[in-house]
Amino acid sequence: MKGLDVFLAIAMSKTLSDAASVLGLSPSAVSYNLKCLENSLGLDLVDRKKGFKNIHLTPAGITLLPLAIRYDEVIREISNIRKTPRYQLSIGCVESINHCLFPTFLHSLGKYNIDIKVDTNTSLELHRLTENREVDVAFVVNQIPSTKLNISSFLREDMKLIRSATNDKTDAIVKAQTLDPKFEIYINWSLAFQIWHDHIWSENRRARFQTNSVVHIDSFLLGDEKYWIIAPDSVANFYRSKGFNIHSITPAPPQRICYKITHHSPKHSISPALKIFNAALENWKKDKIFSMQ
């Protein structure tokens, strides 16, 4: 509807001449199309006060503006469908997966006709969002039973020790009991990990520093070889690339299990995108070293 295009241009540009320039029309053509729109709606949309260079919307114009913006967005989406079908997919991940494991994979999805929205959240919240179909597919580290979700094991990761670069060989196996808990950066990866951890270090020797984020691990560890953290393979490999030393641990901590969750009845509109995503994910997994279920 040309009148709405003209109205939007006027509302955004604030003057008829600027709107005309944006639309590539003459000021008289802009004024004519605006008047036609007002006549068809039976409303005055623009306050035409003499002596004022800038124009102002009437109350009716202010009410119409968000509707006109939504209409314009819908028309653009319809136009895109006519050109090349594009799909949308909402993906949710816990922070460690989004930050350390998935960036390369998510970038690889750029070659498909899929617009990706990525959400970082907790496992609990991602279960809720997927149940409500606000997220189409999610990757979590805690399995919460649900009658609405398909839940499958996605990958298993060994746990490794991360610390600042020292003269130690990075392939050396470190005995857990030799690590001083006063200098631990603790993340509770799972209940199984917590039980293992409390067996090695009693409750009264719990780490001074605790966090639920992997983003700033380097800030905690950098420059002091006494500090250390135990983390999954994907996190350890991420920080190996930043120059940190990575060690295996004995006795070995329990593996971290990551789960993929989707709704039993996903939205029909995402079915093509989900099919493409699942195929790309399987191909990507074949290149990883992780032990999968």
**Dist CA 128 CA 16 (whole Å):** 49
Determine, yes or no, domain membership for 21.
yes
Residues 193, 234: one domain? yes
φ, ψ at 91 (rounded to 5°):
-120, 130
DSSP label at 291?
B
Residues 166, 151: one domain? no
Residues 92, 114: one domain? yes
Residues 68, 201: one domain? no
Single residue among 58, 83, 108 that ends a domain in this structure: 83
**Full residue range of the structural domain in which residue 226 is found:** 159-254
Residues 175, 143: one domain? no
**Dist CA 262 CA 9 (whole Å):** 42
Determine, yes or no, domain membership for 293.
no
Determine, yes or no, domain membership for 169.
yes
In sequence order, what DSSP letters do the residues of 156-220 get, joined into one string?
A: EE-EEEEE---SS-TTPEEEGGGS-GGGBEE----HHHHHHHHHHS-GGG--SEE-S-STTHHHH
In sequence order, what DSSP letters do the residues of 231-263 get, joined into one string?
A: EEHHHHHHHHTTT-EEEEEESPPPPEEEEEEEE
Determine, yes or no, domain membership for 181.
yes
Q: Is 283 exposed, middle or buried (0-12, 13-18, 19+ CB in 10 A)?
A: exposed
Q: How many domains does the chain have?
A: 3
Residues 79, 9: one domain? yes
Residues 105, 231: one domain? no
Determine, yes or no, domain membership for 292.
no
Residue 7: give its domain's CATH number.
1.10.10.10
Q: Which residue has the tokens 């700033």?
A: 216
Residues 6+ positions from 32 with CB-CB distance below 8 Å: none
Q: What is the pLDDT of residue 290?
A: 44
**Dist CA 56 CA 250 (whole Å):** 72
Residues 60, 183: one domain? no
Kindly tell me the sign of the dihedral angle through the C-alpha atoms of 92, 96, 99, 102.
negative
- Could you read off the pLDDT tens digit of each residue along the chain, which spans 293 residues? 578 888 888 888 878 888 888 888 888 888 888 889 889 989 888 887 665 567 788 899 899 888 888 888 888 777 766 666 678 899 999 999 999 999 889 888 888 888 899 999 999 999 999 999 999 999 999 889 999 999 999 999 999 999 887 656 566 899 999 998 889 999 999 889 999 998 888 765 666 788 888 988 888 887 677 899 999 999 999 999 888 999 999 999 999 999 999 999 988 888 889 999 999 998 888 776 443 34
Residue 131: give its domain's CATH number.
3.40.190.10
Residues 10, 38: one domain? yes
Determine, yes or no, domain membership for 220.
yes
Residues 149, 264: one domain? yes
- Let me know how long the chain is: 293
Residues 250, 261: one domain? no
